[in-house]
Structure 1
Amino acid sequence: MSHAPLAAGDFSAEIVEIRRESPTIKSFWLDYGEQPVGFLPGQWIDLYARVGDRVEVGGYSIVSEPGVRGRLQLAVKDSATHAVTHYLHSSARVGDVVGISGGQGVFRYERAMGDRLVLLAGGIGVTPLLSILRYVYASAAGVSATLIYSVSDPQDILFREELDAMSAARDNIRCFYTVTQPLNRDWSGFEGRINRVLLDEAGVDCDALYYFCGPPGFVDDMARDLQHGGLSPTQLIYEKWW
């Protein structure tokens, strides 16, 4: 497939699918064809889009895993103040062409890094962790991974059916959810923020690599609590969202 070039970005890609995933989040599949776009699980890309008479850029974590050839998926939370995010939510259509970079950032997982992972997510910070978990499920059967995912409301849990299916299919993949504002009376799972008590209840592996991503306060709390709990800084891999 060939794509008309945009005025910025290393590669061009066509939006081929848009889905509403939650009240505030949409997912976007981008088709880049045979172009040599490369990324590792957990990395992010720059996305360039024409907004009015300007080309604007935004950075977004990839939620798909590298084994999906020629395409990648993003999951983006709406924002009225960010030009590209607002474009994606308000006016992007299937068939639009955007510019993208290859994968970027040191927040990434490679098989040689370890075979035991704990993934801690605060809200939309789950996106790079989804890429890691999808990679583990698709391509690394010997890796154990535990996801603990904090959201304000149960309806904000991204791809829950898929996560539950992965957990049901593999004994060494486990997914836990905790709700910080449990206004829904049907919710019977964990409540409150991720903390040491919840980690102990989930039975996490103290010798694992810990990946965590979310708002700055969430990341700061996790880094402090995990180190106070005896983990080495070399076990901690994190990324903040602003």
Structure 2
Amino acid sequence: DGGGRAVRVALSVAGGGARLRFAPGQWVDLVAPGAPEGSVGGYTIASTPAELARTGTLEVLVRRSAHPMASWINDSMAVGDDVALRVGGAMVLTEAHARKGILAVAGGIGISPIAAMLANAAECATTTAAGGDQALPRAPAPALTLLYSCRRAADFALVDRLENAAEAAEAAGGRLRLVAHVTGDRGGDGGEPSLSRRWEVRSGRVTPQALQEAFDELAARLQRRGNTTEGEGPTTVACGPPAATDAWARALAELRPTPTA
């Protein structure tokens, strides 16, 4: 996935996952039996608690790198190999966050936790989420927006998960708005990303202006549906390369609803 820069790994959890609890946004530390010291790899879970309950599996996206665990996963791991795992991380969303709406921005494989959060918010509007007290509870008419930035058209990952989440949001009477930002030259890598018509495709980086437009559109959507009070904005979350994430976080922290009168 992601133009061959990462591999999607489905982990079948022993016992069907009945004893495993996680919240969207958390990660798993993975280690292969007999692996050398220091080869533990931490990877954010891209799937949802409800999916674990249905299928007994977790999915992670592992970027190709020289890290021992990443190298083993990308180059040596085979179907049926055993790995040990433990859940960690505190970047999760609550029912209150979902009810306020979610504006998410992601870059590269930073899409992993964002995809899980958005999919879970959409799923929980129509089904009861599994995963215990940490799972994002049922929420009405999801109002969600994603701005997803990659350099090349081929680099967009987890597209099927995001489009399925958009379908789930629509089925619940809500919307997940999907906006793809291609920062490189589209003409140099085959043009448009392989995205459905659900996506708005734009050239260039996710700028503060783009974030403000998305924030205002989502806030207006929430206001029309009565999901929030006037002057209150949606929940915001960002994940991607460190420099980009820092810039997005600063811009998101400064967002306020644009006056309409």
TM over 0.5: yes
2:11 aligned to which of 8, 20, 30: 30
Residue 226 of structure 1 corresponds to: 252
| Counterpart Cα distance in 1 of 2:124 and 2:9 | 23
Q: SS where residue 211 of structure 1 aligns?
A: strand
1:108-136 Cα distance to aligned partner (Å, 9 max, x none): 11223342001110111110001111112
Give the SS at the match of 1:100: strand
Pick one of 193, 201, 223 that aligns with 1:189. 201
Instruction: Provide Cα deviations, 1:143-194, integer angstroms capped at 9, x if missing partner.
Output: 2111110011111111324423443561421111101113336339211211
Q: Structure 1 CA distance, aligned partners of 2:21 and 2:164?
A: 27
Q: TM-score, normalised by structure 1?
A: 0.78
Partner Cα distance (1:64, 1:227) in 2: 27
**Do residues 94 (structure 1) and 106 (structure 2) align?**
no
Q: Which amino acid aligns with 1:192?
A: G
Kept in 1, the 8 Å contact 2:24–2:120? The answer is yes
Which runs of no fewer than 5 residues in structure 2 stay unpaired? 127-139, 193-199, 220-231
- Report the 3-state secondary structure (helix = DSSP H, G, I; strand = E; otherwise coil) of the residue aligned with 2:233: coil
- Could you tell me which residue of structure 1 aligns to residue 242 of structure 2? 216
Greater helix fraction, Structure 1 or Structure 2: 2
CA 1:52/1:24 → structure 2, altered by over 3 Å: closer, same or farther? same
Contact 2:98 2:121 in 1 (8 A): no
Residues 32 and 71 of structure 1 are in contact (CA less than 8 Å); yes or no, is this contact kept in structure 2? yes
Displacement of 1:54 in angstroms is 5.0
Structure 1 gaps, min length 5: 1-19, 232-242
1:27 maps to a residue whose letter is: R
Among all aligned residue pairs of Structure 1 and Structure 2, give the percentage whose two residues are the same amino acid. Answer: 28
Secondary structure class of the residue paired with 2:9: strand
Higher strand share: 1
**Alpha-carbon displacement from aligned partner over 1:3-24 (angstroms, at most 9, x marks no partner):** xxxxxxxxxxxxxxxxx55311
**Residue type at the aligned position of 2:120:** Y
The total of aligned residue pairs comes to 210
For residues 26 and 5 of structure 2, what CA distance do their matches in structure 1 show?
22
